[in-house]
Amino acid sequence: MQAFGDKGVSWRMPNVDELNSIVEGRCLSPSINTAIFPNTPPTEFWTTSLDDAIPSKAWYVSFTGGDSNSSDKSASHNIRLVRGEDPKVSEERHELILELMAQNRIEELLKQEKDAEQDAAVHCSTKAHCDRLFSLAHTYITSEASKKIKFSADNIIESYEPTDVGDIGMTAVKVPGTGDSAVIRLSVSCMIFGSDIIIENLKVETEPAEKLRSKMKTSKISCLSKKISVYRDFRSFVDEK
């Protein structure tokens, strides 16, 4: 870059995929379209792509036969500069934008979930009224929870905990108030893919960890959306009945 600085700051060395994209396999010595790229010598050209197996080596593209390989960074090869943003940088920026959008979506859904849980609380004023609403809560949990009812009593209804990703678990509690009044509160759980502990134990710069993080966020968004829907449907189900 010091040698070609007078060309302008927008010039850079290409990665191996970019340089391979201008190889013309039907041509030899040079293996390139000479009408578009005249005066290209039939020799090797450096790329910015490093050899993952051997850090002391980097990839080059040969315009003698169109093949690519890696060699020691101390070797002498030609350089062809290109202009425009590196596709890898563009891809990383796109992934970062998607990650930020997912995080913002999660924060938004967490607030909606909190509001939906509070709004799902149902008040009853008499014993008969409370018993009827609690019976409806039992019906709702039976029909909507992913697992069967685990425990049921006069003041609590609980389904088995979800075990599969995306499954919903529910618990309804009748909290006594003044006199015969009470408040029926619903609590919803959802099985999210993975766990924070798994991610913390992995190196975040590795590709598997990034994919795992993305899958967890997608799973969390899906679960939060389901929980919000369950809370809202519960209130409407009990009230309409």
Strand-pairing partners, residue 70, are 59
* Domain edge (last residue) among 83, 103, 122: 83
**210 pLDDT above the threshold of 80:** no
| pLDDT tens track for 40-90 | 999 999 999 999 889 899 999 999 999 999 999 999 999 998 887 777 777
CB-CB neighbours of 70 under 10 Å: 19
> Does the pLDDT at position 230 exceed 90?
yes
- Contact between 12 and 86 (Cβ < 8 Å): yes
Is the pLDDT reported for residue 204 higher than 70? Answer: no
Question: How far apart, in whole angstroms, are the C-alpha atoms of residue 10 and residue 83?
Answer: 6
Domain that holds residue 118: 87-240
Angle, helices 87-119/207-240, rounded to nearest 10 degrees: 30
Chain segment 158-188, per-residue pLDDT in tens: 999 888 889 999 999 999 999 999 999 999 9
User: Does residue 232 share a domain with residue 204?
Assistant: yes
23 shares its domain with 123: no
* Domain total in the chain: 2
Find out whether 160 and 178 touch, Cβ atoms under 8 Å.
no
pLDDT score, position 197: 46
Contact 216, 192 (CB under 8 A): yes
